[in-house]
Amino acid sequence: MAVERFVAGAGGRSRFRLSYHRRRALWLATLLLPPAIFFIVFEIYPIVSALIYSLFHWNGIVREGFAGLDNFRRVLFDPPYQAWTINAFKNNVIVFAFGMTVQNGLALFLALLLGSNPRGTRFYQVVFFLPVTLAMVLVGFQWKLLLHPLFGLVNKFLESVGLESLSQPWLGQESTALMSIIVVNMWRWLGFPIIVFLAAIRSIPIEYFEAAKLDGANEWHIARYVTWPLIAPAVTIIVILTFIGSFNWFDLPYAMAGVDGPPGRATDVLALYFYRTAFGEVSAGLQDFGRGSALAVLLFLFVLTVSIVWTRILRKREMELS
Amino acid sequence: MIARRYTPVRIVLVAMFLCGIASAQVTLDFWSWRVEDRWAYEEIIAGYVEDHPGVRINYNAFESTTYDTILTTAFTAGEAPDIIHVRAYGNFETYAAPGYLMRLDDKVDALENFPDLALNGERLREDGNVYAVPFASQTLIVYYNTDIFDELGLAPPETWDEFLAAAKTIEDAGYIALANGTATASEAEIFTGVFAPNFYGADFFDQVVAGETTFEDPRFIQALEKVSELTEYMAPQFSGVDRATAQNLFLNELAAMYAGGSWEIANFRNQNPDLAFDVMAPPPESADDTPLVSWFLDGGYAVSADTNHPEESIEFVTFLASPEFGQQLTDKLANVSPIPGVVSDDPLLKKVTEFNQNSTPYIMLVGFRYEAPTGSVLMQQRLPGMYAGSMSPEQLAKEVTEGITQYYEPFQQR
């Protein structure tokens, strides 16, 4: 009571009385403070500290003299780091290209099919989305077992249907290792773009489709000139998320192949490479926070810059389409 | 009525009394990556604590793959344990060089009796001092299933050609000759380390470390070529066979041989007590040659420089340097102890000790794991490709040499 009187004042005219807007701002600030602290401690602080770490020389785990951009130069231009950086970047690009074309293409196709509400739509929605709910590490280990060269179900199945010649060490050879993990990633993620596209398709008023049909449009025309422009915002979200996910890809290759990107760096990606450089390869490498942090900073700047530029371009395109 | 007697005041008094007892005791935290050895350490520690009632020791083991990350974080946060199980050579220097470890050779008298070869694994190159008590040496050897060998009428091969012939006989009989695969990169390096020394010879290590030669030396390339001959007898689809699978093939008697480290003896016995197996040294080219094995110090026990209990910690590592401890560890874990006076009745350990009479340092671990990219990283990256046939031994040797030359002065000066 006393507090209320203090705040409200006699007759509500106290100079301590807060206006509605201020009270609202205070209330919002109170709500936002915990996530803001969380964000600063677990996002901003690591990014800033990685940037600082990358500018110093390191002796084991101890920071030494100022290095300027030397760590960046070494990971970008000195052998063998240069080759490893290029290789990991190339693999990220492959992951992204596959995600954009095959994964998102297939997701869009399936969303268009499900958008016309065929029989069993709910069932298929659940089936496609189910893997998304599974933990990535669980998916990784499970598929590692399925793809096991000697005891895995994939090879056993191929052998049982007379296709022994196709049975192979999927994760053990340079020609198939990365693609195997990418396909598993697609299996895991496919449901997500399907659901996003489907939600966008279902938000289109039915009258638009009816009007198009009355004008004599076929299915392709409807998909191209009605559905596509109207789901463009959803496409933008999926493209950006695919890009960020592809270049931050870590958990699945780590679980299925390992931190050293075997065999022979065939499954190496930038996040694994950064982690391995900073914290040391299992029973083989040394910790190097300088170079590891330089890689992390480069990766962060690349993803941030491309995401911002690309989002702007896609938003502009959305406007044009609509 | 009874409940009323336990008033809050009395509870507080009892708690204070118990805290008093607890504070009289010193607790030492002991961290290790040897999860599988926990039982042995706990038994040994229980005996030690009985004789030292004022000390409690918490043995805490972490997965070896994350151990260094956890340890690094603990050191940088000032939360390091009192006793630290450290690896040897370059990895050990990561912690010793910045001053995180306490110098021990001026505090633990028993270290004077240790062989130099063992102490060198825990000696900081910068000042020549020893910072950890060496705990075990390891040797790279070949395990073989004696039942399968008996069934096929085979004796342990003594030459390379005999080894290849035996492998063929085993494969023809429907068994896998060598359980090994290359999917685990470190296993590919160990596999190479088992067989290659017989071909590059005992002098090569000192010469390459001194920069008198490089890994492009014809002896090293020839050794890689020879070891590549074994791919025909390795596990089917060996490039996808990881360490766990390879060991399972051997443990389940699907494979007759497994090339690995002496640290697996206890592991194999625990995993399959019915498995009849023995060990042999990797075969040299000629019967006139003595087999040459790769040898290295596995690690040691260090004390944190910032420990709050230096006296008790030093007393404990002094115990870890004693023949009493070495004997217990050897008996329980079948490790070859570097502690003078420790003998083993284990027939396999006796053989390993005999093999060690003609040994050479495990080349990349002992010689080239001090700077990044380490020799092991470079080798492990390329060995799976060499075994799969996508890279020649010459190419591998060239890339390894180029990678090491980036920082290794003896190579740069050539």
ipTM score assigned to the predicted complex: 0.81
Higher-pLDDT residue of B21, B363? B363
For residue A2, the model assigns a pLDDT of 44
Spatial distance between the Cα atoms of B311 and A87, rounded to a whole number of angstroms: 51
Q: Which residues contact B24 (CB under 8 A, 6 or more apart)?
A: B54
Question: Which of A145, A286, A289 should one mutate to test binding to chain B, selecting the residue with the greatest count of B CBs within 10 A?
Answer: A286
What pLDDT, in 10s, does the model give residues B62-73? 988 789 889 988
Helices (H), B234-346: 243-251, 264-271, 310-320, 323-333
Contact B354, B280 (CB under 8 A): no
Count of A–B CB contacts within 8 Å? 136
Spatial distance between the Cα atoms of A211 and A202, rounded to a whole number of angstroms: 16
C-alpha dihedral sign at A56, A57, A61, A64: negative
Please list the ranges in chain A whose pLDDT falls under 50: 1-12
**pTM (predicted TM-score):** 0.86
Residue of A nearest to B298 (CA): A283
Chain B neighbors of A151, CB-CB under 8 A:
245
Mean pLDDT over B287-291 rounds to 94
Could you tell me if residue B201 is left (phi over 0), alpha (psi between -120 and 50 degrees) or otherwise beta?
left
> Long-range CB contacts (< 8 A, 24+ apart) of B307-311?
B307/B80, B307/B82, B307/B102, B308/B82, B309/B26, B309/B28, B309/B82, B310/B102
For residue A41, the model assigns a pLDDT of 93
Tell me if chain B has a CB within 8 Å of the CB of A165: no
Contact B114, B337 (CB under 8 A): no
Other C-beta atoms lying within 10 Å of the C-beta of residue A89:
18
Query: Residue length, chain A?
Result: 322
What pLDDT, in 10s, does the model give residues A164-175? 999 999 999 999
Residues of chain B above pLDDT 70, percent: 94
Chain A neighbors of B186, CB-CB under 8 A:
282-284
Cβ within 8 Å, pair A61-B245: no
What pLDDT, in 10s, does the model give residues B207-237? 999 999 999 999 999 999 999 999 999 999 9
Spatial distance between the Cα atoms of A293 and A290, rounded to a whole number of angstroms: 5
Say if residue B410 is preceded by a cis peptide, omega within 30 of 0. Answer: no
For residue A287, the model assigns a pLDDT of 84
Spatial distance between the Cα atoms of B159 and B212, rounded to a whole number of angstroms: 29
Mean pLDDT over B20-44 rounds to 85
Query: How close A35 comes to chain B (CA, Å)?
Result: 25
Helices (H), B137-251: 146-151, 160-172, 185-195, 197-200, 204-210, 218-228, 243-251
The position carrying tokens 């996910």 is: A245
Among candidate residues A296, A287, A274, A292, the one with its CA nearest the CA of residue B68 = A287
For residue B108, the model assigns a pLDDT of 96
Longest dimension (CA), chain A: 91
Going from the C-alpha of B128 to that of each of B105, B113, B142, B244, the distances in angstroms are 10, 17, 35, 38
Other C-beta atoms lying within 10 Å of the C-beta of residue A66:
9
Contact B91, B37 (CB under 8 A): no
Spatial distance between the Cα atoms of B249 and B268, rounded to a whole number of angstroms: 12
Residue B105 structure tokens:
């050779």
For residue B17, the model assigns a pLDDT of 52
Mean pLDDT over B353-369 rounds to 95
Question: Which of B34, B62, B76, B91 should one mutate to test binding to chain A, selecting the residue with the greatest count of A CBs within 10 A?
Answer: B91
For residue B8, the model assigns a pLDDT of 59
Chain A neighbors of B91, CB-CB under 8 A:
280, 286
The position carrying tokens 């005996």 is: B47
Residue B349 structure tokens:
């350990």
Mean pLDDT over B318-345 rounds to 93
